[in-house]
Amino acid sequence: MRKINKSYKAFLISLLTSFFFLGLQAQTQQSIITIKTHSFKVDGRVYIRWVFGNAKEWRLANQKGVIIERSEDGSDNYQKLNPVPLKPITEQAALKYGKKSRVYALYSIINKKPDNTKLKEIEADEQTYPLFLILTLFDAINPIVSASGFIDSTIDPAKAYTYRISIADVSLQNQKTITTSVSKNNSIHSSMPDIQAKFGDKKVELLWDIKKVMEEYPAVILERSIDSISFKQVSNIPLLSSLVNSNAETIDTTQQIMTYNDEELQNRVKYYYRIRGINIFGLYSQPSNVVSGECLPDFKTLPRIISVDTLASRFLVTWQLVDSLKSLVKKYELWSSETADDSLFTRVSDVVFENAGDKFQFAFKYAAKETNYFKIKAILKKDNSVVESLPYLYQLIDSIPPAIPQGLQGSIDSVGNVRLKWTQNSEEDIKGYKVYKSTTASKDAFTAITGQPIFENTFSEKVEVKQLNRNIYYRITALDNKYNESILSDFILIIRPDVIPPSAPILKDIQGQNNDKSVRIRWSKSVSKDVKFYSIYRKNSVDSSSTSWQEIGIADKGDTIYVDNAITAFTSYYYKIQAIDSSNLKSNFSKSLEFVAPKQPVKVRTITNLNSYVSRDKKYIELNWNVPNPDILEIVIYRVENRQEDQIVLLATVPASVKIYDDENIKENTLYTYYLKPVFKNGKSAEFVKIDVVY
């Protein structure tokens, strides 16, 4: 079992209590027992968790047991789900998990009861209860075995339910039970928020917005991979969704943006990251999106040219370098150009410099032009990579830049030919124009697409029309003979013709409805923003012809469900779906899914070797069995006393991996009949297997 440090324990205590909106210490002075519940529905089962106001109430519940009641569709008529009060696991059952397991640790905490005559032990027990809650958080079996959680597998998916938890043999008037409800739909998120990454020098900062899912996932784990396939957990402990974590912090309380700094990484190695949520029942969410990138050396600030001066018919360049990085540079080179265009710079010389304090200086001969741009390039020792300064402008004669070009117009044809024209500038020293382009209207986003100035007041180019972003923005500047450049003109927007079909929707599932008299088709929307509607297609599953597909209906762009009411009983079908956009372009078909019509139920016996063992010394009946069928999810156990079949009671629901159940709530001279019902992963169940035991 992983050790939990003190600060992390404190975070988890706050997390659990705030998650249930119940303060532990605030309840210690109240005489009314307070129980707060939380629930969620996943794939036909309801998961329920509860906490008590303080350790004393928790101890009482462990002693007397917990009753779980359920009402349907808002009714006040509650029905018991467990006539036998739910109590924590026994030592004998806990030992089956091993003494080093969390289950046995929970048993040890539950049975380490305080002496109620000693104040120090009572106060210490108030800290024991939060520790107990911590141990139940990250493994799905722990809430079940510790009687702090329950899984209801007997629900009708078409109904909504309300659950009430109470302590057995205690008047409801002395208990304040805050109920919990689930709707007809699943109540757990299927995906995590998108994760973003900022890669630096041997480190990466990961960011995600947890606000939308933090109430369902109190913690997340960060996973890393170097091959995009095998992911491993980065932090030893999960990261809390609503609190400051070790090495992680909330930087925006309105958005709940969480960050985590993963450090001591290798530069120039590609890393992949994703996150997964953990809910209060220890269930993991689907992974988030995957982000990737490489860590690179941080040389953004070097070198920087401070000045270029003339000295006795020579030029003198002065530059700076961060002290901590000087030892990483093998040599420097000086480069020059008449323009700031990177492609036109030529090497002047290797640099033999003089170190003047925190600055470097290099004197050189140079045939100056009217406009001169200089760069210092640093060649690094490690891998001969090059880091260069920003261009530094030196002009022999200053000049005023031209006026801003006016009258920019443009057009695009169906194959992507763009044509621009504008009004010719009136200055006599106009050398030409530069054209800038961007995919957004932001002024800082524009980049030059013409290296040398163009002399005419027109420009044409061909662009790719098959782009998701159809917007292209253009601006121009004017340059004079000294390469003084005007301010950017106003932009014009050119919109590419729509030639990209929408992305295909994803068909998620096909389910029979209304006693399989109709079929519900459910899909995920196309990610394309210009979808107008969806077309739904169907064919008989026994017909292999590709021409037998028929369009059976259309759905609005906002829909994700379509119900086919025109099916034939006991007939199986294939379905597929297609998106159509505002330009009537059609996406590829989704992957087809089959609806398998119901057949005559087949009785399947899936529990073998059901045996019993009676311990009269320790007063319990042990049932043991085998489950050879891997498709079984869980076993539901019922019991009848003395053949009174109308008084059958639900004892427990256990995972298929559990092969033993101990019944300790028994009476002498009684005939017990136990019924075991297997429940499959698809939600269906097989016939009962029963055994008689006389105690």
Q: What is the CATH number of the domain that holds 375?
A: 2.60.40.10
pLDDT band at 27 (very low <50, low <70, confident <90, very high): very low
Residue 88 belongs to some domain of the structure: yes
On whether the CB atoms of residues 687 and 604 are closer than 8 A, the answer is yes
594-610 per-position pLDDT tens digit: 998 887 655 666 889 99
Question: Are 426 and 375 members of one domain?
Answer: no
Burial annotation 185-218 (CB, 10 A radius, 16+ → b, else e): eeebbeebbebebebbebebebbbbbbebbebbb
Question: Are 474 and 521 members of one domain?
Answer: no
In 3D, which of 381, 465, 456 has the Cα closest to residue 425? 456
Residue 187 belongs to some domain of the structure: no
DSSP state of 646: G
Residue 553 belongs to some domain of the structure: yes
On whether the CB atoms of residues 412 and 494 are closer than 8 A, the answer is yes
Question: Are 92 and 21 members of one domain?
Answer: yes
pLDDT band at 253 (very low <50, low <70, confident <90, very high): low
Residue 494 belongs to some domain of the structure: no
Q: Report which of residues 185 and 324 the model is more confident about.
A: 185
pLDDT at 146 over 50: yes
Report CA 171 to chain centroid distance, whole Å.
Answer: 44
| Pick from 249-253, 560-564, 616-620: least confident | 249-253
Question: Are 52 and 111 members of one domain?
Answer: yes
Last-in-domain residue among 436, 455, 487: 487
Question: Are 87 and 147 members of one domain?
Answer: yes
Residue 634 belongs to some domain of the structure: yes
What is d(CA 299, CA 538) in angstroms, rounded to the nearest whole number? 59
19 phi, psi to nearest 5 deg: -60, -40
Last-in-domain residue among 159, 182, 205: 182
59-88 per-position pLDDT tens digit: 999 999 999 999 999 898 999 999 899 999
In the prediction, which pLDDT does 248 show? 47
Question: Are 169 and 35 members of one domain?
Answer: yes
Q: Report which of residues 466 and 586 the model is more confident about.
A: 586
In the prediction, which pLDDT does 7 show? 47
pLDDT band at 132 (very low <50, low <70, confident <90, very high): confident
Question: Are 387 and 442 members of one domain?
Answer: no
In the prediction, which pLDDT does 499 show? 83
In the prediction, which pLDDT does 282 show? 79
Question: Are 482 and 626 members of one domain?
Answer: no
Residue 75 belongs to some domain of the structure: yes
Q: Report which of residues 164 and 382 the model is more confident about.
A: 164
pLDDT at 383 over 80: no
Residue 322 belongs to some domain of the structure: yes
What is d(CA 147, CA 104) in angstroms, rounded to the nearest whole number? 14
Question: Are 289 and 417 members of one domain?
Answer: no
Query: In this structure, is the dihedral angle defined by the CA atoms of residues 51, 149, 637 and 42, taken in order, positive or negative?
Result: positive
pLDDT band at 28 (very low <50, low <70, confident <90, very high): very low
Last-in-domain residue among 161, 182, 203: 182
Q: Report which of residues 280 and 423 the model is more confident about.
A: 423
pLDDT at 255 over 80: no
466-477 per-position pLDDT tens digit: 887 889 999 999
pLDDT at 381 over 80: no
The amino acid at residue 357 is G
In the prediction, which pLDDT does 602 show? 58
Query: In this structure, is the dihedral angle defined by the CA atoms of residues 258, 259, 260 and 265, taken in order, positive or negative?
Result: positive
Question: Are 437 and 525 members of one domain?
Answer: no
Residue 442 belongs to some domain of the structure: yes
Question: Are 167 and 27 members of one domain?
Answer: yes
Domain count, the chain: 6
| Pick from 150-159, 356-365, 544-553: least confident | 356-365
The amino acid at residue 449 is I
**Token duo for residue 83:** 């006539």
- What's the pTM? 0.41
In the prediction, which pLDDT does 245 show? 45
Question: Are 330 and 353 members of one domain?
Answer: yes
Q: Give the torsion through C-alpha atoms of 150, 156, 162, 165, to 10 deg.
A: -30
pLDDT at 249 over 60: no
Share of residues in the chain with pLDDT > 70 (%): 89
pLDDT band at 250 (very low <50, low <70, confident <90, very high): very low
Q: Domain range holding 443?
A: 409-487
Angle, alpha carbons 613-618-621 (nearest 5°)? 30
